[in-house]
Structure 1
Amino acid sequence: MKKTFLSVAAMMLTVSVVFMGCSSRPSSGTSTTESPAAATTKPTTTTAASTPDAKPSGDKIKLTVYSTISELPNQEMMKGIAADFTKENPNVAVEFQFPGAEYENILKVKMAANDLPDVFDTHGWAIIRYGKYLADLRNEPWAKDMTDTIKPVVTDKDGKVEALVMSEAKDGISYNAEILEKYSITPPKTFDELMAAAEKIKSSSNGAVTPFFMSGVDNGMIGGFSDLYATSMFISPATNDAKTLLDGTFDWNKWTPLAQKLQDMSKKGYINKDVLTAKYSDMPQLFAQGKVAFVFGAPSFADEVYKYNKAAKIGIAPLTSMVAGDSQSFSGGERYTMGAWKDGKHLAESKKLIAFFAKADNMSKIANATKLPAGLKNIESKHEFSEYYKQFENIRVFPYFDRVYLPNGMWDVMCKTGVALLAGTVSPQQFSDKMKSEYLRLRNQ
């Protein structure tokens, strides 16, 4: 639905804390923002000012930085790096804004007014949504070091580099390693193996362990399942539907088997029985107690699990293949980035700030704090998932399905219709019909 500038601006004035709904992809990937159900925060502002002993020269410059980072410790980490930058550049102050769930709405208003922050997070939309507002960073010293998996995600067809990717999203399956060890299950590589593992866990535990946790309240977890496995079904196989999805001729009857698999998982008792009322925030404690085996998406919930069980063992694996003959993959791309507004008054300083964050030691800090792989090569990180990312560094990474192949607004459709499917109010075929009608409607807007 199109909104007037005034109505959106009015909404900005009443920003409040809300749970991330299906308009945002949760940071778990099944989640976000338009990413994987991360906790949201009140919009916060903070300035990394120069130290008392610093002696500024020339006019004082303030750079405004907008970020989608929601976890308070990680916000503090970013502010710390900015403070170090100001120590080296005492005439430049850095002001961070963390708008939380209102990030996209605020940025859309700013795009309409052509009044963007000096530096901002592109959160998965560097080329498609923000490209025309961003400065070209291809000649920056760090650009040559972009990872092979992230370079095509933020480089347009003309070779323009849109943003520094500080953290690269790689969403597959997070699992409870102790449960898999207990039931002698190797992390599955195919969807059939995953379903066999779910059946073994359910039957061997007499129902005490739920194979998969999903939330109908934070319904990005349900929409995320469809988004992840749409890539596995329609994009990653050698013979795929990428072209027809892009040109509008895709046969939406092909969606029905995917919807059927989700419904079957529920009917077989593989998904938590309270799926329609469960919240994302319920999951970490259940995971810590050994009552949940698999969570689709990245292990962004790990620290919450450790609050309940410091000895918990969490593993990660690529998404299983769905089509015979295909191999595993990750969904992802940009998670946390820094792009520079091309029309900003302080573009040179903005590029300098981004280059500072791109330093190896700073990129290591970010990787260790976010527990995600860096978007630059040869960045050292030491956290519980580092070895997993190293093990799977050559696994293919595809952009989130909805960001490339669906018109804006379809994420909401997948979330809500997925919930209706599990509630029994729509059938798999009706799910497909809904996807088709909304795809055509939104595509022609």
Structure 2
Amino acid sequence: MRKFISGLIFVIAFTLFASGCSNKGASSNSDESGVTLSLFLTMSNEGEKKAIETVVSKFEEENPDINIEVNLPGGGYEDMLRVKMAANDMPDLFDTHGWAKLRYGEYVADLKEMDWVQNLDPALDQILKDEEGKVYAYPLNQAKDGISYNANILEEYGIEPPTTLDEFIAALETIKEKSKGDVVPLWIPGGDNWTIAQIFDQMATPLLITEEENSYGDQLKDGSFDWSNYTLFAEKMKEMQEKELLNEDVLTAKFTQAAELMAQDKIAFTFVGGSLGPDATELNPEVKVGTMPVPAIHEGDVQSWIGGERFTLAAWKDSENLEEAKRFIDFVSQPENVKLIAEGTSSPAALTNTEATNYYSEFYSEYEDINVQPYFDRVYLPSGMWDVMATTGQELLADTLTPEQLSEKMGEEYKRLRKQ
């Protein structure tokens, strides 16, 4: 009996050992059905999510040996990626959201040998390529950020899309008066404070860059910028709040409410963009959402689109599944999928061999002569300043910072972060 038990124990032990050996060397990103790729993106609107999920499903059908685990952490994206960078444990595929070279450069694989590179829109060269020709990420689409508006409300109240900040504030006042408070003139979902940073970032370009006599690009780059020049827009934001031109719940309203409120004709203007238009129209076919460039601030200046790449796919250079990651990028770069994503995200395509008509095409055509300026923080601010713009803007609207104090705090953090 003892011999039998001893033999049984040996057989079990050997079986477990053999089983362990058979799995040795298998990727932790693999399972019985094949390889699993982790994909992290900054997409947040429903239309954007549907677009990427559709393409992923198509890819998995054609590549049954590869599964893609899509992660869309929203406002927590940057914090999650910072932790992963510190641990040198990046996703197989991830969105560089404007920081392909400066923040993520040492983690990304060079994509220059891929076929789609020859069709990359030259406007994106300085963002996605370096002087040696390395290509840091694949652009899923391009951004033309400005201000979204309810076209029906503007037509009802006889308002033309404003071209200057003063005209913009006057339009907000007209909406407040004529709607008798039923329509929020400027809606800000400040409960997600990155949306406040978005406003300050977009408006920093006309404030500090595009008008010749108020252009401080060189000083911002060399560290000599006088941050008192930043105060004007903070004063304008506070003025709009004091005139009750913003939503009362500006500090608690959530980004996810935008489409429903726009569909109910409760919003006139908002800096929320992306798939807001089609998302709202899906809820209410009668609503029409327009988009316009950001208004000029200084006399004599013109409007600007704010942009660059919106969403990208970079491949982690140390991924155990780099070949499969590149296979997905190649799939996404095929014209039918480029078109699907561009139209699904209501943004222009980033490859020149694909034409895509999206929800905002008529508005992009109307403003086709307006220049696209790069996102302010990506060119002129050290990494980490986005969070500072978010928190200082939030504190301004909470009455815990004055416009002057906001500028002082921005200056202090700017100097601190430049040294890191």
Q: Does 1:172 align with 2:132?
A: no
Query: How far did 1:88 drift?
Result: 5.0
Distance verdict in 2 for CA 1:348–1:247, change over 3 Å: same
Q: How does 1:296-315 map to 2 (within 5 A)?
A: 296-306=271-281, 308-315=283-290
> SS state of the match for residue 294, structure 1?
strand
Q: For residue 247 of structure 1, what is the aligned residue in structure 2? A: 222
Cα pair distance change 1:349/1:392, threshold 3 Å = farther
Q: Percent identity?
A: 44
Aligned AA for 1:118? D
Aligned runs of 1:22-421 on 2, under 5 Å? 61-70=35-44, 74-75=48-49, 77-85=51-59, 88-89=62-63, 92-101=65-74, 102-239=76-213, 240-306=215-281, 308-421=283-396
Give the TM-score normalised by the residue count of structure 1.
Answer: 0.79
Change (3 A) 1:110 1:331: same
Write the letter of the residue equivalent to 1:103.
Y
Structure 2 residue runs without a partner (length 5+): 1-28
Using the TM superposition, give the Cα deviation of residue 375 of structure 1 relative to its aligned residue in structure 2, in angstroms: 1.3
Q: What is the alpha-carbon distance in structure 1 between the residues aligned to residue 222 and residue 338 of structure 2?
A: 38
Q: CA deviation at 1:148?
A: 3.4
**SS of aligned partner of 1:270:** coil
Q: CA deviation at 1:219?
A: 2.4
- Partner of 2:99, secondary structure, is coil
Deviates more, 1:353-362 or 1:388-397: 388-397
Q: How far does the alpha carbon of each residue in 1:137-158 deviate from its partner, in whole angstroms, 9 at most, with x for none? A: 2332211222233232212243
Is 2:47–2:278's contact at 8 Å kept on the other side of the alignment?
Answer: no
How far the C-alpha of 1:303 sits from its partner, in A, is: 4.7
Partner of 1:3: none
CA contact (8 A) 1:79 1:96 kept: no
How far 1:203 sits from its partner (Å)?
2.6
Judge conservation of contact 1:175–1:293 (CA < 8 Å) in 2. yes
Structure (1 or 2) with the larger CA radius of gyration? 2
RMSD between superposed Cα atoms in Å:
2.8
- Aligned match of 2:403: 428
CA distance in 2, matches of 1:81, 1:277: 34
Compare 259-268 and 142-151 and name the one that shifted more.
142-151
Q: What is residue 9 of structure 1 aligned with on the other side?
A: none
Report the 3-state secondary structure (helix = DSSP H, G, I; strand = E; otherwise coil) of the residue aligned with 2:407. helix
* Structure 1 runs of 4+ with >6 Å offset: 46-50
Between the two proteins, the alignment pairs up a number of residues equal to 390
Q: SS state of the match for residue 302, structure 1?
A: helix
The structural deviation recorded for 1:78 is: 3.2
